[in-house]
Amino acid sequence: MNVLIVYAHPEPKSLNGSLKDFSVKRLERAGHVVQVSDLYAMNWKASLDADDFPGRQAGARFDPSLDSKHAFENGSQSQDIALEQEKLRWADAVILQFPLWWFSMPAILKGWVERVYAYGFAYGVGEHSDTRWGERYGEGTLAGKRAMLVVTTGGWESHYGPRGINGPIDDILFPIQHGILYYPGFDVLPPFVIYRTSRIDEAKYAEARDALGQRLDALGTTAPIPFLPQNGGAYRIPALTLRDEIAPGRTGFAAHVA
Amino acid sequence: MNVLIVYAHPEPKSLNGSLKDFSVKRLERAGHVVQVSDLYAMNWKASLDADDFPGRQAGARFDPSLDSKHAFENGSQSQDIALEQEKLRWADAVILQFPLWWFSMPAILKGWVERVYAYGFAYGVGEHSDTRWGERYGEGTLAGKRAMLVVTTGGWESHYGPRGINGPIDDILFPIQHGILYYPGFDVLPPFVIYRTSRIDEAKYAEARDALGQRLDALGTTAPIPFLPQNGGAYRIPALTLRDEIAPGRTGFAAHVA
């Protein structure tokens, strides 16, 4: 497979850096072709702004969504954005690897999503009408590809448990796994999470590395999270609420998993 | 009151820009003193990296957390970071205003959090032992201050309802309201959310503006979301899980609201 790792940590000698290097070797040894978007090393521009669309009329009111649409259609996006879209098209599987900072991805990675996920590429795809709300949540440009998060946290696993103070890890990652990965079509594999990173000694590192290795070995075969596709009959359109007979009586993120 | 608005939209002539200008006027007219951190206008540096700590040893391994701790203690943080911390100390109430991009805040605002929320300022505050896990979630440097989100979304309100496809808005905002605002001590007011922004005409704009005005008028009196404080007896320490008698049988974000 072609595997893209989008990696966001500022220090190569960190736990994240080691795990990223390990992943590249493990995947290549298994015969995969790997590209890494090392966002800090690339000095990735994090903030979406009018400079991302060099073809636009100077002085015109900037509309992040419409300017993205026009630039994507006309091939006038900033070159760094187009290159990342090309990597996504090339990839059969995408890994986002990052430390959990303030219960989400680092800003530099969030800015990768905002800038690379153009209108017409990751959203605004397909028919939009009273009966169709585009190709998204299970359909879209990236359908058929697999994606997985590799995440490190300083907190303990119990802090992210069902009744842990930070909230359950699956709920914290839902806006990313469902809202950023499933949205443009990815099949999303369960995340690989390493907790309590400040207390990792050599033995624990070896354990985490081996567990990650097994997940990488199974990248092509692991069953994805069974999120409900938008256009598979589970949702009323255009209200986009679950039909009564789907997960009856349930609310919240988990209701969108079959 | 002293009110700080941290605002993240790249276009002054946008809906967000208009609402921000309106908020400043409304608050000033009520006798408050207002400062605005207009992140795009400030060309705010979004990515946390070693450059944020000019006093550190060149070539040393960069540790985002420990380098932040040392720089905060030694007063050697980057000047832009120290200035924002000063504004937070000055403020009695803080408003974060932003468009919801990919189910979270824009990268530029996430980077404001990551860089301004130093170790010793917003986390790593207070005693850390087997029986205390610091002053956080209801205690901390920013305790006694109020905070509120002002958020715009393109999607409909039903899409963000209890059974809406994007997930409930309260759950989407939980990592921000609980994990970023309540964590260092803020009392967090219910969010002000405007949906379906692409279809806002003059009448709907006036309606949204007036509703926001009422929320601003009540900034000092609105009851905060009753998140459970970490050190108030609801949690086991250090596991930091809810005690059995608190929200019995419930899991997920909502279990942390009294």
Confidence band, pLDDT 50/70/90 cuts, at residue B59:
confident
Return the sign of the alpha-carbon dihedral for residues A83, A46, A18, A98: negative
Option in B101, B159, B162 nearest A240 (CB): B159
d(CA B6, nearest CA chain A) in Å: 16
Read off the pLDDT of residues A191-239 as tens digits, 9 standing for 90 and up.
999 999 988 999 999 999 999 999 999 999 999 999 999 999 999 999 9
**Contact assessment for residue A191 and residue A151, using Cβ atoms and an 8 Å cutoff:** yes
Q: Which chain A residues are within 8 Å of B164, Cβ to Cβ?
A: 239-241
Q: Which chain B residues are within 8 Å of A151, Cβ to Cβ?
A: none
Confidence band, pLDDT 50/70/90 cuts, at residue B98:
very high
Option in A49, A171, A230 nearest B252 (CB): A171
Substitution target from A7, A47, A244 for chain B, most B beta carbons within 10 A: A47
Number of helices (H) and strands (E) in chain A: give both, helices first.
Answer: 6, 6
Confidence band, pLDDT 50/70/90 cuts, at residue B138:
very high
Mean pLDDT of B216-238: 97
Contact yes or no for A252 and B162 at CB 8 A: yes
Query: Looking at residue B125, what is its pLDDT?
Result: 95
**Contact assessment for residue B222 and residue B33, using Cβ atoms and an 8 Å cutoff:** no
Contact yes or no for B102 and A114 at CB 8 A: yes
**Assigned CATH for B2-224:** 3.40.50.360
Helix, strand, coil tally for chain A in percent (to 5): 35, 15, 45
Confidence band, pLDDT 50/70/90 cuts, at residue B131:
confident
Query: Looking at residue A59, what is its pLDDT?
Result: 86
Q: Name the closest residue on chain B to residue A39, using Cα atoms.
A: B47
**ipTM reported for the complex, 2 dp:** 0.98
Secondary structure of A144-180 in HEC code, one letter for each residue:
CCEEEEEEECCCCCHHHCCCECCCCHHHHHHHHHHHH
Q: A27-31, A51-55, B29-33: which has the minimum mean pLDDT? A: A51-55
Query: Looking at residue B199, what is its pLDDT?
Result: 83
Taking 90 as the threshold, does the pLDDT of residue B128 lie above it?
no
Substitution target from A165, A196, A237 for chain B, most B beta carbons within 10 A: A165
Query: Looking at residue B58, what is its pLDDT?
Result: 83
Q: Which chain A residues are within 8 Å of B167, Cβ to Cβ?
A: 174-175, 178-179, 252-253, 256
Taking 90 as the threshold, does the pLDDT of residue A131 lie above it?
no
For residue B70, count other CB atoms closer than 10 A to its CB. 16
Mean pLDDT of A18-27: 98
Ranges of each domain in chain B: 2-224
Confidence band, pLDDT 50/70/90 cuts, at residue A129:
confident
Option in B48, B65, B171 nearest A252 (CB): B171
Following CA atoms B81, B87, B92, B96 in sequence, which dihedral angle do they give, to the nearest 10 degrees? -60
Six token digits for residue B228: 């459970």
Q: Name the closest residue on chain A to residue B247, using Cα atoms.
A: A163
Query: Looking at residue B77, what is its pLDDT?
Result: 96
Taking 90 as the threshold, does the pLDDT of residue A71 lie above it?
yes
Q: Which chain B residues are within 8 Å of A104, Cβ to Cβ?
A: 104, 110, 175
Read off the pLDDT of residues A157-204 as tens digits, 9 standing for 90 and up.
999 999 999 999 999 999 999 999 999 999 999 999 999 998 899 999
